[in-house]
Amino acid sequence: MKYSQLPAKVFCNNRKRFAQHLKPNSIAVFNSNDIYPISADSTLPFEQHRDIFYLSGVDQEETILVLYPDAKNPAHREMVFVRETNPHIAVWEGHKLTQNEATEVSGIQTVLWASSFEKTFSELAAQATHIYINTNEHYRAKVETQTREDRFIAWCKKEFPTHDYQKSNPILQQLRSVKEEEEIKQISRACAITEKGFRRVLEFVQPGVWEYEIEAEFAHEFLRNRSKGFAYTPIIASGKNNNVLHYIENNKQCRAGALILMDVGAEYGNYSSDMTRTIPVSGTFTKRQRAVYDAVLHVKNSATQLLVPGVLWKAYHIEVGKLMSSALVDLKLLSKKDVAENPNAYKKYFMHGTSHHLGLDTHDYGLLDEPMQANMVFTVEPGIYIPDEEFGIRLEDDVVVQASGAPINLMANIPLDPDEIEDLMQA
């Protein structure tokens, strides 16, 4: 692994907390992701399913985790199945986990080869009353590809049609939304790598550079700091592209006088960071650009203070809408009459949400009808987009909700003040 692994006790604790939510005599199964084909013999790089990683720490394909807390045989209460290696695989693909190494990573004592899974599971399922299956129920999810998990679920329901099926996802939505100290450290490490990339870019940007060259500067810094790379597809949007929320072409030249909106984040150990900065190509903001930048920064700082335990998601966004409405009136983009007639008038210039959960996934698990809790990690990312003026500005940091007081900004060291950005670029 490029990254420093979390201690096995983290995954042991995660499994213990998950098991506490299961019904008596239940068995739960988690599958790794597939390696997805492109065409011919080409494949996409492997990315572990975040749920099995959260519960086991095993970052390898063809892995299956089985949890059966009430199993009569203690050896069957936690089991992980991994791919059996051989000299041929070692030559062509490199090292795979041995059974002892899988125990060291996960803290699970019973490690078997994946080839024995169906037989072993069939024996255990015959004893169990409930089977917990793991479906993707994230509010942003739109999955059209059949996954390894999907294939298991279809097989399981065919083989064991009379069992009572329950869902693991609601449990994991709650557990994964509140981060452990070790997880926050991994996210902080990802943020620190993102900072290195951004500082590199501040020295690099000047009129005439191309968006893909900026992307390459980030990638260079991320990879040399033990990240696998970007936590999500990077957005490097200059000029009028600022106003395209999910612009990923990154193929335009950056012109003097324009702004560059950069929504990028490094991952570290499968944990994501998520940063947005908007900087002037020429190293200096125009008066109008600076006014809009200051307005977005004010909304971001004010919104951050609202992220405290007990706050409900919907109420939070209503309050941020009020902050943004006031800012847009000050910028003369809206009138007080506009706001009075339509409290959502601000969405003409700020059409996306202000925050989302962050963690093992960039848009991480979290139940939006549950109040915020300490140690939840959120982005804060307001923006103002003005197509008629051919620029937009978004600013984004990652923060940790505290039991009392203001959230901790994990990106506090990443330049954000416009004067500091100008000074660094001009230097």
Same fold: 8-177 with 181-426:
no
DSSP letter at 26 equals E
Residue 98 CB neighbours (<10 A):
13
Backbone angles phi, psi at 291, to 5 degrees: -65, -45
What lies within 8 Å, CB to CB, of 125 at 6+ separation is 27, 131, 156, 159, 160, 163
- The structure tokens listed for 335 are 């009138």
pLDDT along the chain (427 residues), means of 10: 91 98 98 95 95 98 98 98 89 91 98 97 97 94 92 97 97 98 98 98 98 98 97 98 97 98 98 98 98 98 98 97 98 98 98 98 96 98 98 98 96 98 96
User: Would you say 33 and 61 are in contact if contact means Cβ atoms under 8 Å apart?
Assistant: yes
- The structure tokens listed for 71 are 């199993």
Residue tagged 């199993």 (tokens): 71
Torsion sign (Cα): 210, 208, 191, 276: negative
Domain ranges for the chain, please list them. 8-177, 181-426
Residue tagged 């390898």 (tokens): 60
Task: For domain 8-177, give its CATH number from 3.40.50.2000, 3.40.350.10, 3.40.1210.10, 3.40.50.880.
Answer: 3.40.350.10
- The structure tokens listed for 188 are 């902080």
- The structure tokens listed for 122 are 């069939």
Torsion of CA 195, 201, 202, 206, to 10 degrees: -170
pLDDT value of position 1: 66
Backbone angles phi, psi at 111, to 5 degrees: -120, 120
pLDDT value of position 85: 86
The architecture in CATH of the region 181-426 reads Alpha-Beta Complex (3.90)
Residue 34 CB neighbours (<10 A):
20
